[in-house]
């Protein structure tokens, strides 16, 4: 990238397909919140790759195939000129060390960003994530290290069902009913905070009504993406006031 060219955010999304647009909306909102973006020219240049991936709700993950698809998407963004990369998919972060080593530009880590945004102690938290993410234990390990008490609830099948429904239905009544089933179980387990680490669910949170404080991984990634872009813009572009 030319030293004076504008920095570009590379966003790997499409996993699942309906989560792409809501994540871009989060990035746009972060621009408004962080530096008062208003006019079209105020917003970042973004490259978006909605990458088809071999992920199925009803069968085991083929990790080699999924990692290969994700890496293909990252290379597409890198080759197109992205200054850094953000993966709008929690499950993709299972492969983060190898993926980060396979690209030449920085790759944000949504799990680390979310853990860093958690309070250092106090709340009892429960994780809501797609099965591969939950079974990787990456969030649980990070949050426990942060000093949080993880509440283990036997609800993965219910979460899997809700994630599957988001891919086939936009019925708000159905989605709210399934979500309320999860929050009722969280309340019974005396959970204080829900950590939502699934972009399919992050995409519909605003329509559900939570009843709980939410630590949403997608928000953490959107915030960090804009912060990184601002840092690069300050380092690589002359201020407008200095132009002759």
Q: How far apart are CA 3 and CA 116, in angstroms?
A: 31
Range list of β-strands (E), the chain: 8-13, 45-50, 84-87, 124-129, 149-150, 193-197, 214-216
Residues marked as catalytic:
89, 198
Between the CA of residue 120 and those of 116, 117, 143, 218, 219, what are the distances in Å?
9, 9, 9, 20, 19
Peptide bond into 28 cis (omega under 30): no
Range list of β-strands (E), 106-231: 124-129, 149-150, 193-197, 214-216
Q: How far apart are CA 61 and CA 148, in angstroms?
A: 29
Is the alpha carbon torsion for 32, 109, 215, 177 positive or negative? positive
Q: How far apart are CA 41 and CA 158, in angstroms?
A: 44
């Amino acid at each position: 990238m030319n030293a004076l060219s504008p920095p570009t955010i590379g966003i790997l999304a499409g996993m699942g397909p309906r989560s792409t647009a809501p994540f871009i909306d989060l990035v746009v909102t972060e621009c408004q919140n962080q530096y008062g973006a208003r006019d079209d020219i105020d917003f970042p240049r973004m490259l978006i790759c909605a990458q088809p991936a071999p992920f199925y709700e009803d069968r085991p993950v083929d990790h080699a195939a999924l990692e290969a698809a994700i890496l293909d998407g990252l290379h597409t963004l890198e080759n197109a000129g992205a200054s850094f990369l953000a993966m709008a998919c929690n499950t993709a972060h299972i492969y983060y060390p190898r993926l980060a080593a396979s690209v030449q530009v920085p790759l944000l880590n949504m799990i680390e960003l979310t853990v860093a945004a958690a309070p250092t102690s106090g709340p009892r938290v429960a994780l809501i994530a797609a099965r591969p993410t939950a079974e990787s234990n990456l969030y649980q390990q990070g949050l426990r290290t942060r000093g949080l008490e993880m509440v283990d609830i036997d609800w993965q099948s219910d979460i899997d069902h809700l994630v599957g429904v988001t891919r086939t239905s936009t019925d708000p009544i159905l989605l709210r009913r399934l979500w309320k089933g999860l929050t009722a179980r969280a309340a019974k387990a005396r959970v204080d905070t829900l950590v939502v680490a699934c972009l399919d669910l992050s995409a519909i949170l605003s329509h559900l009504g939570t009843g709980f404080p939410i630590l949403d991984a997608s928000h953490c990634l959107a915030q960090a993406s804009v912060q990184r872009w601002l840092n690069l813009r300050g380092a690589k572009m002359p201020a407008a006031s200095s132009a002759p």
